């Protein structure tokens, strides 16, 4: 598995942060640079049907090596970009050998420490080799660990022709972190019966439920008047926006919810007396509750406008839906993944995603696509790390899925 680690350490050197403000696909040039690098690797490996389109979607095929003609085509997908939440420029990963359970000093000069007191999940990986950051950037295991695992698994299947498998399709797409990873994904050209995104967290995770998601923008229009002469004239949009915000349930926020509990999350405030915009994301696994949450925004907007006529306007746009309704009728897709994990010596942990995944959008586009662990933890920040054995197991799971689909 040295090749797996080497691939990952080389992949994280590419700065592929996405940027939702550019309105381009891919949203940043580094993603296309990385995609071309991967295209060359896949070509050298001998894969076929390699395509890289102008939007940065890279696809390739590992041809079947079995005489059976009834084997479904299975896909494996990972995303090229890293989160815009923290820099991915000049990532300097370090391997911590045989982690001893104590604090890991990421950056002595800045006193940045990865501690089990703050991140108790570290202790689950005592005795393992971990890849960590230098404290200045994120690591990029989300999702370059997934890419490394897919490429390594495909190379393993090439090197071990005794493992029979059907046609395997792989794809690496841009801009997952800004919610656009599936927007220009050509499902028909990909041509798989189903697929798995290798984009989950810690070892064993298998996810086929995710949030229903929407973004809501509430705009408050005020009237600015000199404060010394403002009585009965000024309309302060900031104050009215604050009144709206505190009308939402206090405990239904990300910091107070877990599991299947949904939330309202205020992600930005931009305002002056004349105009203030509140931007929220709305999340819930249950479709009915999700719709009721959107109705609550409509209700509160009407309530504000009753007190301050015409001040508030609301725009709500759905982002994605819970893929469970598309995958549950095809439960053999989950059964194969569970069996593959067990064969690889991994205990499956079927959990709901408290977020979204490209697989959710792809499932509604006609490509059922659950999510499998890639092994990383603490994504999107300087405390991100990935245990090497978890990456190795994810690679084995891919190989086992290919084998099982061909033998069933």
Catalytic residues: 81, 176
Q: DSSP labels for 189-202?
A: HH--SEEEEEEE-S
Exposed/middle/buried for residue 108 (C-beta within 10 Å: 0-12, 13-18, 19+): exposed
Instruction: Name the 3-class secondary structure at 113.
Output: strand
C-alpha closest to that of 194 among 288, 323, 91: 323
Q: Taking phi first (over 0 means left), then psi (-120 to 50 degrees means alpha), and beta for anything else, what does residue 392 get?
A: alpha
User: Which residues make Cβ contacts (< 8 Å) with residue 356, sequence separation at least 6?
Assistant: 179, 210, 211, 213, 319, 320
Q: Name the residue with tokens 């982002």.
A: 319
Instruction: Name the phi and psi angles at 87, rounded to 5.
Output: -55, 140
- Bridge partners of 314, per DSSP, are 218
How many helices and strands (H and E) does the chain possess?
10, 17
For residue 73, count other CB atoms closer than 10 A to its CB: 17
């Amino acid at each position: 598995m040295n090749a797996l680690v080497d691939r990952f350490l080389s992949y994280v050197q590419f700065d592929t942060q996405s940027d939702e403000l550019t309105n381009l696909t891919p949203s940043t040039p580094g993603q296309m640079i990385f995609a071309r690098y991967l295209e060359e690797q896949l070509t050298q490996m001998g894969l076929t049907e390699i395509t890289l389109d102008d939007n940065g979607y890279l696809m390739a095929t590992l041809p079947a090596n079995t005489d059976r003609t009834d084997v479904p085509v299975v896909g494996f997908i990972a995303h090229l970009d890293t989160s815009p939440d923290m820099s991915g420029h000049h990532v300097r990963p370090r391997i911590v050998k045989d982690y001893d359970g104590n604090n890991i000093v990421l950056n002595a000069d800045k006193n940045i420490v990865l501690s089990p007191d703050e991140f108790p999940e570290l202790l689950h990986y005592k005795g393992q080799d971990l890849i960590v950051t230098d404290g200045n950037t994120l690591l990029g295991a989300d999702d370059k660990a997934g890419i490394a695992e897919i490429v390594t698994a495909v190379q393993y299947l090439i090197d071990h022709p005794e493992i029979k498998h059907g046609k395997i399709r792989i794809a690496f797409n841009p801009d997952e972190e800004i919610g656009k990873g599936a927007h220009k994904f050509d499902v028909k050209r990909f041509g798989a019966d189903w697929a798995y995104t290798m984009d989950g967290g810690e070892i064993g995770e298998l996810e086929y439920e995710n949030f229903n998601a929407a973004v809501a923008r509430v705009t408050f229009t005020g009237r600015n008047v000199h404060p010394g002469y403002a009585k009965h004239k000024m309309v302060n949009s900031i104050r009215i926006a604050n009144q709206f915000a505190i009308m939402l349930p206090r405990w239904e926020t990300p910091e107070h919810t877990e599991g299947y509990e949904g939330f309202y999350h205020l992600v930005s405030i931009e305002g002056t007396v004349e105009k203030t915009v509140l931007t929220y994301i709305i999340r819930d696994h249950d479709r009915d509750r999700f719709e009721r949450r959107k109705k609550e925004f409509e209700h509160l907007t009407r309530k504000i406008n009753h007190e301050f006529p015409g001040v508030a306007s609301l725009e709500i746009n759905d982002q994605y839906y819970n893929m469970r309704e598309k995958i549950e009728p095809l439960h053999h897709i989950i059964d194969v993944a569970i069996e593959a994990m067990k064969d690889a010596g991994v205990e499956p942990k079927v959990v709901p995603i408290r977020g979204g995944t490209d697989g959710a959008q792809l499932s509604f586009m006609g490509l059922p696509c659950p999510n499998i662990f890639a092994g990383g933890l603490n994504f999107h920040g300087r405390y991100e790390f990935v245990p090497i054995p978890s990456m190795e197991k994810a690679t084995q799971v891919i190989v086992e899925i290919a084998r099982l689909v061909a033998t069933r």
